[in-house]
């Protein structure tokens, strides 16, 4: 019983993290944004679409392929961040970029 009380009263570090929101400048200038055609959502589908279905038939290979998928997704996300850094047409904090 003491264990249950201790767990119930335990202070977690995630309880004290501040939630930030976008500055008023971004809210004002992007209030009417209605982006269409933002591209294909590739996350979690890169290898599934580009490899044979026989490869996915072996359940022992699925964790390995998942790691490869995560690495490729990470590389694409970093390429997007480089694209945003050197783009003069986009804000640096934008998430609406292909």
Domain boundaries, the chain: 2-85
Tell me what pLDDT residue 71 has.
92
Reduced 3-state DSSP string for the chain: CHHHHHHHCCCCHHHHCCCCCCCHHHHHHCCCCCCCCCCCCCCCCHHHHHCCCCHHHCCCCHHHHHHHHHHHHHHHHHHHHHHHHCCCCCCCCCCCCC
pLDDT digits (tens, 9 = 90+) for 21-37: 667 777 777 778 777 77
What's the mean pLDDT when you consider all of the chain?
Answer: 77
Average pLDDT, integer, range 47-57: 85
Out of 8-12, 68-72, 73-77, 84-88, pick the least confident: 8-12
**39 falls in which pLDDT band (50, 70, 90)?**
confident
Residue 30 φ then ψ, to 5°: -120, 20
């Amino acid at each position: 019983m003491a264990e249950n009380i201790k767990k119930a009263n335990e202070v977690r570090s995630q309880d004290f993290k501040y939630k930030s929101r976008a500055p008023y400048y971004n809210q004002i200038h992007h209030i009417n944004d209605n982006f269409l055609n933002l591209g294909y959502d590739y996350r979690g589908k890169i290898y599934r679409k580009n490899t044979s279905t026989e490869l996915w038939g072996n359940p022992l290979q699925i964790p390995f392929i998942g790691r490869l998928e995560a690495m490729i997704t990470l590389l694409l996300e970093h390429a997007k961040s480089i694209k945003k850094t050197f783009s003069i047409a986009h804000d640096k904090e934008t998430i609406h970029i292909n």
